Amino acid sequence: MKIAIITIGSELLNGSRLDTNSKWIAQKVLPWNGEIVSKISIPDTDQDIINTLNYYISQSLDMIICTGGLGPTHDDITAKTLYDYFKDTPIFDDDYWYILKGEFKKRGYDISNLNKSQAYRPSIGKIIPNTIGTARGLHYKKKNTHVIVLPGVPAEMKLMMKTTVLPMIGDLSKTSTSFKMYRTTGIPESHLYEKLLPLINKYSEVDIAFLPSFLGVDIRISSKINKDFDKINNQLFLIIEDYYYADNEIELEEVVAMLLTDTNLSIATAESCTGGLIGDRLTNVSGVSNIYKGGVIAYSNQMKINLLNVKESTISQYGAVSEQTAKEMAIGVQKKFLSDIGISTTGIAGPTGGTNKKPIGLVYIGFHYKKITKVYKFNFRLDRKSNKMITSQAALNIIRKHLL
């Protein structure tokens, strides 16, 4: 089914905000056979909204998803404009206003009278519930086009898509697309492409797409013909098995947490160049306290020595960014935290601090578990944040591979 996205708000046009919502929506509607045929960003004026709705409705699309402009301030005019557009008379919703007041109170704020505008509900249209924010969504229909209105706040938009809009798209679609995504890390896109080329040539009815980022390549396989879909997936999996870590949107830290839980092993982190990022990623996973004991962010040499028992002579002889230091950090943190596994990072994140012998992007990752102590060396050569991020990815992947 054909879908257009309208994102409403000047912040998307004046260079203040990057629109990440549209990409997310495009990915999510795909398995339900939804196809984004166009997306447009417009300012929050009623005339722009009306013109754009008319333009898209004239193209007889199946659905238009609008986001943004549902907040409480003067430039949030989406709801009012839609009420007028659909000749609807909104009703003040006393029950919802009561709930809103309670929510604000719980958070320690007095509610502003401005928020009253968010307590109206349509008479003709339907409400789309929002369980984590104040702005509820709207659902109208004109000719054969469903018009959906959601807040622009990503967390709220995503939850409302998942609970209401995606199931609606599923109901409305007549055909389905078979679809699967494989996440890989540790191999460049071009090598992956070469490995999969025979498969791509053999099954032309199947679409194999590569979605590369600097952390890895996601492979998306989709087909409108169900025949052979499992067979192709099995063949593809055998080719990418060494690099594959998860399906769909599952993050590497979730896979690692699951493997640690399954094997009943605990871990501790000794982070220098990643500065806490591995701990942060692991603790993004709920329930991780059973397997993650914690860690030390050993940003200074003295703390590597004091807290992780790295030998002073090791640092003076080999430097803080060295195989030897990484090794002692991994052993030290495992002992200090009484965990099963210790993992460590030390490297030069940049943009300063690089030398000819130790360039920016040089990273050592130490792994220690019982009698296994290994250090892995990398040369990432990216910017500071990306060097940190890819180091955390490599460290998590090292843990994953050891646990398999």
What is the footprint of its own copies within residues 37-66 (CB under 8 A)?
A: 37-43, 48, 55
Bridge partners of residue 364, in order along the sequence: 346, 377
How many CA within 13 A on the CB side of residue 291? Answer: 21
Q: Which of these segments, 19-27, 82-90, 136-144, 238-246, binds its own copies (CB under 8 A)?
A: 19-27
Q: How far is the CB of 142 from its own copies (least distance, A)?
A: 19
Q: Which of these segments, 135-143, 204-212, 363-371, 396-404, binds its own copies (CB under 8 A)?
A: 204-212
Q: Which of these segments, 164-172, 254-262, 290-298, 310-318, binds its own copies (CB under 8 A)?
A: 290-298
Q: How far is the CB of 165 from its own copies (least distance, A)?
A: 15
130 binds its own copies (CB under 8 A): no
Q: Which of 30, 100, 166, 305 binds its own copies (CB under 8 A)?
A: 30
383 binds its own copies (CB under 8 A): yes
Q: Which of these segments, 122-130, 138-146, 323-331, 383-391, binds its own copies (CB under 8 A)?
A: 383-391
Query: In the complex with its own copies, which residue's Cβ is closer, 263 or 386?
Result: 386
Q: Measuring CA to CA, how many Å separate 252 from each of 49, 110, 165, 168, 237?
A: 40, 41, 28, 30, 18
269 binds its own copies (CB under 8 A): yes
Q: Which of 46, 88, 280, 323 binds its own copies (CB under 8 A)?
A: 280
As given in the structure block, the two tokens for residue 64 are 């238009």
250 binds its own copies (CB under 8 A): no
Cα–Cα distance, 396 to 137 (Å, whole number):
39
Query: In the complex with its own copies, which residue's Cβ is closer, 297 or 403?
Result: 297
CA 147-77-154 angle, 5° bins: 65
What's the 3-state SS for 175-204?
CCCEEEEEEECCCCHHHHHHHHHHHHHHCC
Cα–Cα distance, 246 to 218 (Å, whole number):
10
Hey, which residues between 167 and 196 contact its own copies (CB under 8 A)?
Answer: 181, 188-191, 193-194
Hey, which residues between 344 and 373 contact its own copies (CB under 8 A)?
Answer: 349-352
Query: In the complex with its own copies, which residue's Cβ is closer, 294 or 319?
Result: 294
Q: How far is it between the farthest Cα atoms of the chain?
A: 79
Q: Which of 170, 186, 275, 354 binds its own copies (CB under 8 A)?
A: 275
Q: Which of 121, 327, 388, 400 binds its own copies (CB under 8 A)?
A: 388
As given in the structure block, the two tokens for residue 5 are 């996205």
Residue of 188, 196, 193 lying closest to 214 (CA atoms) = 188
Dihedral over Cα of 347, 283, 268, 342: its sign = negative
Cα–Cα distance, 169 to 185 (Å, whole number):
32
Dihedral pair phi/psi, residue 141, rounded to 5°: -135, 135
Q: Which of these segments, 9-17, 62-70, 257-265, 395-403, binds its own copies (CB under 8 A)?
A: 9-17
Q: How far is the CB of 110 from its own copies (least distance, A)?
A: 9
Q: In 3-state terms, what secondary structure has residue 383?
A: coil
215 binds its own copies (CB under 8 A): no
